[in-house]
Amino acid sequence: MQSLITSKTRIKLLIKFFLNSSTQGYLRGLSKEFDESTNGIRKELNSLTKAGYLKVSKNNSNKKLYKANKKHPLYDILHQIVLKELGLDHIVASVLDRMGGVNRIIVIGDYANGLDTGIIDVVVEGDALNTDYIETLSDKMKHKINRSVRFLLCSKYHDVGLELYNATKDGE
């Protein structure tokens, strides 16, 4: 994505807002999160808002709150690009390939909040999961997507996260 979009700030913002559509952010909070000046962040937020990729609302203290515009015609495409950029599509395909009875695959932690920190925490929910395969999958994913992946296996997950796969919705 760096060769297509040269602004590192814009890439961070696209990942932040288009990985998880429920993610929201204020100018100062984004500035602190990305450790960048408010002017640089403001410039990119204005460009993305003007193009219609982001929506802006104001809270009670008149702060602008930014979030992805899910009604934009390119929303789904940008979401898929971000998933591919982070390698999340490879994780889903690899888990479904040999893990057994997977019910859901959920990203938790920093990545669920749109932060590309280099460590992806993934919950694999299901019964009779192939625990031997998951041990080799972490190493395989690190080489394939250049990010560390930590897997948590469970029969039922009740907390929040970014759902990448659901057998009930996505078929199987």
User: For the chain, which domains are there?
Assistant: 8-79 (1.10.10.10), 87-170 (3.30.300)
| pLDDT attached to residue 157 | 93
| pLDDT attached to residue 87 | 83
Report, as ranges of residue numbers, the positions in the chain whose pLDDT lies below 50. Answer: none
Distances (CA, A) of 116 to 62, 87, 100, 105, 146: 29, 11, 29, 18, 12
Which residues make Cβ contacts (< 8 Å) with residue 16, sequence separation at least 6? 23, 25, 30, 33, 114, 115
| pLDDT attached to residue 95 | 84
Per-residue pLDDT tens over the stretch 83-122: 888 888 888 888 888 888 899 999 999 888 888 888 999 9
Q: Which of 77, 146, 137 is nearest to 102 (CA)?
A: 137
| pLDDT attached to residue 70 | 92
